Amino acid sequence: MVRSRAALTTTAVTAVAELLGVDATAVCTDAQFTDLGLNSTQLARLTARLEDAMGVEVSLTAMYDYPDIDRLVEYLAMR
């Protein structure tokens, strides 16, 4: 499955915004997930949402190895 960075970014921004209860325009893609206000439970939920939306496995470890949307998208786009 080919995944464009733009589509992955949109999916991730939307998922983070939904978890935080904010508008997607308020989500900065280069801010760390913890700085955005996501706790470990929300990060686990985020992995599940991303897996469902993207059709690719996203480990909880990846959320810490690639701690912001930009870095995570870069990683996922190469998989």
Tens of pLDDT along 12-71? Answer: 999 999 999 999 999 999 999 999 999 999 999 999 999 998 888 999 999 999 999 999
Higher pLDDT: 1 or 46? It is 46
Rounded to whole angstroms, the Cα distance separating 46 from 63 reads 9
The closest of 40, 74, 44, 78 to 58, measured between CA atoms, is 44
Q: What is the pLDDT of residue 1?
A: 46
The closest of 23, 15, 4 to 53, measured between CA atoms, is 15
